[in-house]
Structure 1
Amino acid sequence: MSEYSNPPGSMQSWPLLVTHALDYAARWHKDQEIVCKTVEGPITINTYADLNLRAKLCALALQQLGIKQGDVVGTLAWNTTRHLEAWYGTMGIGGITHTLNPRLSDSDISYIANHGEDRLILVDGALLPLVARIAKDLPLLQAVVVLTDRQHMPAHSAAAGLPVPLLCYEQLLDEAAEGGALGTFRWPGLHEDSPAGLCYTSGTTGNPKAAPTQLIHGVRYTHRSNFLHALITTAPDALALSAASTILMVVPMFHANSWGLNFSGPMVGARLVLPGPYLDGENIYQLMHTFKVTVTAGVPTVWLNLLQHMEKHKLKLSHLQRVCIAGSAPPRSMIEALEKHGVDVRHLWGMTELSPLGSLGTLTSGQIGDGLTHDKTIALKEGQGRPHLFCDMRLVDDQGQQLPNDGKAVGHLQVRGPIVVERYHKAAAPAVDEQRWSKDVIKSGGEWISSIQLENACMGHPKVMEAAVVGIPDEKWGERPLLVVVPHAHVAGDGALKRELLAYMADHPAVARYAAPDDVALCPRFHTPPQVSKLSLRKMFQHYKRPNSKL
């Protein structure tokens, strides 16, 4: 019997590995295109056959650098072909791809890379100065690889002070090809529960007394969880992907696997369009128009910029059939504007801990059969729908009692399933307790903002006695954090204090730029001691109108 055999009379035992998706695409869709607007500027067009070959060259190069099963390879890069092939090359040999988010603060990235135990960091050239700033604080780091060719290697000044070797990605692949091992290379046999990816979320609550960076938790995806999640994203009620699809991968790969598109695209043989760092309205439209994109997904801020560009230049969407929106709730005006162009808008919900897709906002046959009016149809699309097969859900109150699924109850969401995190990376205790799980976060423009992290930072100010942070609805960003503060009795609660606290938070080393609050609400005291109820505060400030965001 082989390693994967079951007893006679059973079905084949076949591990669900992400490289199976790549092998399938390279064999049965070998000429399908992968379009990329490179970091260097030009557009390149490769195929799945190319991606498979170069992923294996990458795997050989990583092995030459000493990477073995279980080692962590960090990436600090945008959506490009090189980044994608490095993902498969790392995961294929049992390594763990650890995405680093360049939008976080230096201190957060340093903590995350250390906690993840990154051995290498693969980086886009423009982001190299960031790695150079933090490399001295990464004792396990062995080398930094720039995802470019010799011609575009950054100047030495960009890597000033880098304490480890600086290597060129294309040169490493050339050396791997010259080594002659490619012809006999095969992906090693891995268990489907082997870790494949590592992604940190700053949106998870933790010990309020801990240092702020300790509230950033790592989620280790397995080959199996990635594979099952990719299957869900291809389903008709999700992104409805097929070999006829052309997918624009707008969501950065450092945002929970680009919502799984880097696996589901090859799984069905779809054409991929990778935008690199160019996520402004003009570039997104040009890629959509030039390459006849049919499906895409992203946070509301991306589509707001696209619609503004189209309105300014009186443009239309000629080929786009479907756009999936998640990260924060899209405003009604955005849904209506996209659907006027004949685009089916699907509102999804998810989070890093869910791989990340959790619910689907497509209409059911019963809803369609009810003869919905336009207003009711849009109202349903504003919601996040229902959970998919691999994500069970329930809503509970502050006491843990289950609430009805009536579309009105407000509470804490709990989830479970085969694509849901069980234990955070290196955590002493599971993330689940008797099948229960909770989260307290604010989502702004697709970025998780930890309310606990902001509260801890604010509590370090000498004039603050109590602090709480709640999310306030925002048309552009989905939500923005409102800082609610109880000052000490001897402190005047006036405009000067508000300005002082906003400046303090904006300059705080543990607060990323996108997470800094836009406003402060001063209160004489909280009304629910000894523990502030976030549900009560949200109700208290549900009609609050914030000033314009500084973002």
Structure 2
Amino acid sequence: MLGLMQHHDLMISDFLVHAARHRPRAEIVSRLAGGIHRQTWVDTARRARQLARALGRLGVRPGDRVATLAWNNHRHVELYFAISGSGAVVNTVNPRLAPDDIAYILEHAEDGVLFAEADFASLVEQVAGKLPPGLLRQVVFLCDAADLPGIALPAGVAITDYESLIDAETDEYDWPRFDERTASGLCYTSGTTGRPKGVLYTHRSTVLKAMAVNAADAIGLKAADRLMPVVPMFHVNAWSLPYAAAAAGTSLVMPGRFLDGQSLYELIEAEHVTCASGVPTVWLGVLAHIRKTGGRFSTLERMIVGGSACPEALFDAYDELGVTIVHAWGMTESSPIATVATPVPGVDAATARRQRLSQGRVLFGIDLRARRGAEEVPWDGETAGDIELRGHWVTTGYYRMPKGTTEDGWFPTGDVGMIDPDGFVILTDRSKDLIKSGGEWISSIDIENIAVSHPAVAEAAAIAAKHPKWDERPVVIVALKPGASATREELLSVYEGKVARWAVPDDVIFVDELPHGATGKLLKTELRARFANHLIEKPDGAAT
């Protein structure tokens, strides 16, 4: 027997309707090249309806993919809602990728319309020339008519500016209703292990994920919050935060392309930000600015940190500033947040700290396991296995590629880790980044976190270097803070008593800066290519 409750398919557009109708005072603040721009959720809803009408005029039909090359700002928020809400698919493209990879994505997704920031004009020109004739028919630059860049595009590709496009439309538009399993967004992985692969989200998965993110033991946004998503909107829907903010009536403070430590700190203070999100590298830059200037935070309460493992020293540094770091973990394939490290009662101080530094526990709607071979490993916090996920916002595979889940429906993440008795996940490494020395596994994450605890170290990466006796040995590659100095011996001494003797790196390699991929993650593939033979070429650095 069925119940008597109303049923409505879950639509992304409902977030925007709710925010405009019930949270009209909340605003979206954008830092643009010309200064600060402000508009309310009411304004955003009106402009998104105009944009939805304009998309129809451009020939965009339900199911069509529409690409964006854009920073975090109010126009990108409007694109999020208008494209998906009209039944099309928003394909957020990472502008930090190589032009060849961007062209591959546009061709693979079959994007006929591209919305791009005006400062990406030369990139658009490069990419358009690499596409098959007739694929791209329209480029809309996210500016007004006065700032429309003049570039040469292939024949048949029209150019217009965003403000003129939507100004030509009224806001009389009713968001359509359709099956909640309809595709809403397409995000490609960063392509560190080959060509980028597309993950195709649905309205249902996106709505459920945003609601889960707003749980009190997750990110828990409130109407009184002012959220600054530094995590890019071109990277996994900015962790679903624009949707979650609309659901809660939270104000958004969007930093645009101004992501240096000084700019972020000044925006946090000027706009009274209470919550922020981003990768550890971003917050290391803000911390460096604060230490240089002696600044303090007046309103910032918490930061959601993910994308890569957060160094323990960063937790402690922000604790001293009165800001709580909340560790989250996931991947493009899980939309991305799957786990959040919020505290549980009744544990001792050492356990509480270990759990806080972990990747966290799953949100409701996600399940997780660790397997070694065919068997699931025990939840003892000691036995490692391959981490697998399943849930309402976990992919079954990649766009236009074969199914990617196991026979029983779990998605292999490529991460290796342990699960403690309370369900907290402690990642030991990516499977491809583990270091196997003489039959013993060494975690590169542990090596990196200990290195960063040294006050002179800005960033560190641990990789496996070839060794004539042990097959592989760890070396740690270090970038020092500006003006700081440290010796090989000083850094290696930090490991004493913190890891087993055989897990201490064989050498320290000093570099000016570490290479990062398009999403801010360390490019260990590049480091392995450069330094895999380091211990063979430098025998005095090899372990005996």
Q: TM-score range, shorter-chain basis?
A: 0.7 to 0.9
Of residues 214, 218, 224 in structure 2, which corresponds to 1:244? 224
1:204–1:217 CA contact under 8 A, matched in 2:
no
Residue in 1 that maps onto 2:137: 142
Instruction: Please list, as runs of the form range in 1=range in 2, the aligned pairs for 1:479-490 lying within 5 A after superposition.
Output: 480=461, 482=463
Q: Report 1:286-297 matches (<5 A).
A: 286-297=266-277
Provide the C-alpha distance between the structure 2 equivalents of 1:294 and 1:89, rounded to a whole number of angstroms: 28
Residue 198 of structure 1 deviates from its aligned partner by 0.2
Q: Name the residue aligned to 1:151.
A: 146
Alignment match of 2:122 (pick from 113, 129, 132):
129
Matches within 5 A, 1:197-346: 197-202=185-190, 212-213=194-195, 216-346=196-326
**Partner residue, 2:184:** 196
Q: Percent identity over the alignment?
A: 35
Q: Distance in 2 between matches of 1:323 and 1:523?
A: 38
Q: 1:290 to 1:332 in 2, by over 3 A?
A: same
User: 1:544 & 1:316 partners in 2: Cα distance?
Assistant: 44
Query: Which AA in structure 1 matches 2:18?
Result: Y
Q: What are the superposed Cα offsets for residues 435-475 of structure 1, whole Å, 9 maximum, x if unpaired?
A: 23323379xxxxxx99989xxxxxxxxxxxxxxxx966544
Q: How far apart, CA to CA, are the structure 2 residues paired with 1:254 and 1:479?
A: 26
Task: Choose between structure 1 and 2 for higher RCO, CA contacts under 8 A separated by at least 6 residues.
Answer: 1
CA RMSD, 1 decimal: 3.0
**Does 1:522 pair with 2:502?**
no
State the Cα deviation string for residues 371-404 of structure 1 (Å, max 9, x = none). x2xx65443321112111111111112x232222
The one-letter code of the counterpart of 1:124 is E
Distance 1:132 1:285, change over 3 A: same
1:159-189 Cα shifts (integer Å, max 9, x gaps): 4667611111111011123xxxx33x20111
In structure 2, C-alpha distance between the alignment counterparts of 1:228 and 1:426, rounded to whole Å = 24
Aligned residues, how many? Answer: 456
Per-residue CA deviation, residues 35-84 of structure 1 (Å, 9 max, x unaligned), is 1102x331011000000000011101111000010000000111010111
Change (3 A) 1:296 1:544: farther
Correspondence 1:436 to 2:436:
no
Shift of 1:477: 9.0
Given that 1:249 and 1:274 are in contact with CA atoms closer than 8 Å, whether structure 2 keeps it comes out as: yes
The alpha-carbon deviation at position 363 of structure 1 amounts to: 0.6
- Counterpart of 2:44 in structure 1 is 51
Q: Distance in 2 between matches of 1:416 and 1:109?
A: 29
The 3-state SS of whatever aligns with 2:115 is strand
Q: 1:329 touches 1:382 (CA, 8 Å); kept in 2? A: no
Amino acid at match of 1:345: I
Partner of 1:16: 10
Between the aligned partners of 2:243 and 2:542, the Cα distance in structure 1 is: 41
Cα gap change, 1:289 to 1:483, in 2 (>3 Å):
same
Q: Determine the C-alpha separation between the residues in 2 that align with 1:8 and 1:236.
A: 31
Distance in 1, Cα, partners of 2:459 & 2:160: 40
- Contact 1:482–1:517 (Cα < 8 Å) also in 2: no
Q: Provide the rounded CA distance (Å) in 1 between the counterparts of 2:199 and 2:86.
A: 20
Amino acid at match of 2:140: V
Tell me which residue corresponds to 2:399: 425
Note if 1:60 corresponds to 2:60. Answer: no
Task: Please name the residue that 1:538 is paired with.
Answer: none
Q: Taking structure 2 as the reference length, what is the TM-score of the superposition? A: 0.78
Secondary structure at the aligned position of 2:207 is classed as: helix
Corresponding residue for residue 107 of structure 1: 100
Taking structure 1 as reference, are residues 486 and 219 closer, same or farther at Cα in structure 2, changes over 3 Å only?
farther
Question: How many angstroms apart in 2 are the aligned matches of 1:421 and 1:201?
Answer: 13
2:367 maps to a residue whose letter is: D
What residue number does 2:440 align with? none
Preserved CA contact (<8 Å) 2:214 2:244:
yes
AA at the equivalent of 1:137: K
> 1:19 corresponds to which letter in structure 2?
S
2:74 is aligned with what amino acid?
T
Secondary structure of the 1:440 match is: strand
Question: Any idea what the Cα deviations from partners look like across 1:240-264, whole Å, max 9, x if unmatched?
Answer: 1111111011110011010011100
Verify the 8 A CA contact 1:298 1:326 in the aligned structure 2: yes
